[in-house]
Amino acid sequence: MLAWFSHPTRNGLWLLLSVLFLIAGCKSAEYRAYVYDPIGATLTEDKPLDPYHRRTIGFAEDGVWFTNEFDGARLNDVVRVSPFVYELTISAENTPINNSAWYGFVVARGDAPWMHGSGDGKSVDGGVGQEFGEGDSRVDSLELTLHLRYEGGTHRYPPKLMERVGESLTEGMGSGSTYSYRQIDSIQTMKIMPEGENIHGLKLRFSVGTNPVLITAQRLETSHSLQDTLQAWAARYPSVHVDTAGFSSENRPIPGLIISQDTQIQRPTLMVIGRQHPPEVPGYEVMRSFLHRFASNDSLANAFREAFHVVALPMANPDGVDRGHWRHNARGVDLNRDWINFNQQETQVARRYFQEKAASLGQPIYAIDFHSTQIHLMYPIEESVALDGPAISTPWFDHLLDPETGYPFEVAIEPFDTSGPVAKNWFWRAFGIDALTYEVSDLSTPEQNDTAGEIAAESLMKTLLTSLESLNSLN
């Protein structure tokens, strides 16, 4: 942290920021916004959320119901347009907001949970059903057309359809532990039609059989599924230590992860953060596979852990994730614009956690913040920016993006200065280290993301081990 004060240019910046803070009453300083940011994105004091209700909406005429009563859901309203045709409203948590129109809901046939005993829902039998083989879950499947209408944004994420297999309809959906979904094949996802030039929604036609269907903008990864993952790792790998960094404003735990051979020994530490922005699941998947690779019991990971620690906050915004937000936390704020003001509880927790781990485990050497966007994109710190530690991004990219390495994505690289209030720049400000915002394409598949995370971790381990060797040879 104190490395900061040894640097003259950053001293100047710090003074300037301090003055800004004083003028602005300490916490409402606005910073240069990013080109894609809406007005006020870097003002990070609490903003009101628009009303949102968790509920199940049934249509007895068709025997069809919709629900958003589970974590990660977003469905604001449903209106029946004609038999088996519905218009669904998908609204952001508040506006203005970056366009990341997240949606998530379950649609099913028959009796909604609250319909039991009414018998209305059964009128669907023999209606628009189609013939399928015996034992097939598509028996008597019904074709539905849904118009998704976005408020506050436009269509961004192709829908993922999963069919619920298992017993009860919504039981366990909040816990993440008792349900399993089967991906629906492309035949049943019949058509996706944009509504003309200025796309504010999409039309989705698909068959729903006897099992409920989950439709989400990206794969459903909630705070509960992360907890399950971390518990499984901790049980399997002696080097994995899971703790709670703190709590969100709605009191959800913000899990911390340490991958270390021996936490009693000070070592250079790699710092990782993810899921500040709820819909950015591909970036989360790469991060998960990336972190997992450091825990493995093989010669590379063992050598790495003999020289380095890894500290991570894999889900910095659990409220936003579980509420199905497009971008913000439960206080309506973009957390990745709050790394100078620190108005929000989640950024305060993250700052304290990384500072404490830096003090107890060792000086950070590099930091990565995982996100997703339209393309595969790396935002490193500009090479002209002075660092107190080694430059890591450039030698890492040289290795990672060499065709021999086998990284599955084509990647654009866009260096940035360190003025903005994003996490990457805080790592530089706080520790003087090189840092990176790592963006994964919205459209990448889980398999690609698993591969990418693994290869990225292997490549970074080699880069950091080489960097350490050259540092040692200088001493």
Q: How far is the CB of 327 from Zn ion (least distance, A)?
A: 8
Minimum CB distance to Zn ion smaller for 41 or for 456: 41
Q: How far is the CB of 371 from Zn ion (least distance, A)?
A: 3
Q: How far is the CB of 27 from Zn ion (least distance, A)?
A: 23
Instruction: Report the DSSP beta bridge partners of residue 434.
Output: 366
Sign of CA dihedral 17, 20, 26, 32: negative
SS3 311: strand
Q: DSSP letter string over 349-406?
A: HHHHHHHHHHHHH--EEEEEEEEEESS-EEEEB-TTS--SS---HHHHHHHHTSGGG-
Q: Which of 321, 333, 329, 332 lies closest to 421, judged by CA?
A: 333
Compute the distance between CA of residue 108 and CA of residue 208 in angstroms, rounded to an integer.
7
Q: Which residue is nearest to Zn ion (CB)?
A: 371
Minimum CB distance to Zn ion smaller for 337 or for 371: 371
Q: Label residue 128 left, alpha or beta by phi (over 0 means left) and psi (-120 to 50 means alpha).
A: alpha
One character per residue 79-108, x = contact with Zn ion (rule: CB under 5 A)? ------------------------------
Q: How far is the CB of 283 from Zn ion (least distance, A)?
A: 7
Q: Which stretch binds Zn ion (CB under 5 A): 187-195, 317-325, 364-372, 415-423?
A: 364-372
Q: Could you tell me the end-to-end alpha-carbon distance of the chain, in angstroms, rounded to an integer?
A: 22
Compute the distance between CA of residue 221 and CA of residue 176 in angstroms, rounded to an integer.
9
Minimum CB distance to Zn ion smaller for 267 or for 277: 277
- Residues touching Zn ion: how many (CB under 5 A)? 3
Q: Which stretch binds Zn ion (CB under 5 A): 36-44, 299-307, 369-377, 410-418?
A: 369-377
Q: Which stretch binds Zn ion (CB under 5 A): 27-35, 274-282, 285-293, 402-410?
A: 274-282
Q: How far is the CB of 136 from Zn ion (least distance, A)?
A: 40
Q: Which stretch binds Zn ion (CB under 5 A): 186-194, 252-260, 350-358, 366-374?
A: 366-374
Q: Which stretch binds Zn ion (CB under 5 A): 40-48, 256-264, 278-286, 376-384?
A: 278-286
Respond yes or no on whether the N-terminal peptide bond of residue 96 is cis (omega within 30° of 0).
Answer: yes
Q: How far is the CB of 438 from Zn ion (least distance, A)?
A: 10
Minimum CB distance to Zn ion smaller for 361 or for 436: 436
Phi, psi of 440 (to 5 degrees): -110, 145
One character per residue 314-343, x = contact with Zn ion (rule: CB under 5 A)? ------------------------------
Q: Which residue is associated with the tokens 């944004």?
A: 153
Q: Which of 459, 455, 466, 440 lies closest to 397, judged by CA?
A: 459
Binding residue (CB under 5 A) for Zn ion from 109, 219, 277, 331: 277
Q: How far is the CB of 263 from Zn ion (least distance, A)?
A: 30
Q: How far is the CB of 169 from Zn ion (least distance, A)?
A: 33
| Residue 90 amino acid letter | I
Minimum CB distance to Zn ion smaller for 268 or for 380: 380
- Degrees (nearest 5) of the Cα angle 396, 365, 242? 105
b vs e for 136-149, b when ≥16 Cβ sit within 10 Å of the residue's Cβ?
Answer: eebebbbebbbbbb
Q: How far is the CB of 285 from Zn ion (least distance, A)?
A: 14
Q: How far is the CB of 277 from Zn ion (least distance, A)?
A: 4
How many CB atoms lie under 10 A from the CB of residue 364?
Answer: 26
Q: Which stretch binds Zn ion (CB under 5 A): 280-288, 317-325, 356-364, 401-409?
A: 280-288
Residues 6+ positions from 7 with CB-CB distance below 8 Å: 386, 388, 432
Minimum CB distance to Zn ion smaller for 233 or for 290: 290
Minimum CB distance to Zn ion smaller for 296 or for 373: 373
CB 81 within 8 A of CB 89: no
Q: Which stretch binds Zn ion (CB under 5 A): 28-36, 73-81, 118-126, 368-376?
A: 368-376
How many CB atoms lie under 10 A from the CB of residue 35?
Answer: 4
Compute the distance between CA of residue 424 and CA of residue 377 in angstroms, rounded to an integer.
14
Minimum CB distance to Zn ion smaller for 280 or for 454: 280
Q: How far is the CB of 280 from Zn ion (least distance, A)?
A: 5
Binding residue (CB under 5 A) for Zn ion from 267, 305, 331, 371: 371
C-alpha distances (whole Å) from 333 to each of 22, 46, 75, 424 are 22, 6, 20, 18
Q: Does 252 bind Zn ion (CB under 5 A)?
A: no
Minimum CB distance to Zn ion smaller for 37 or for 143: 37
Residues of this chain that interact with Zn ion (CB under 5 A) are 277, 280, 371
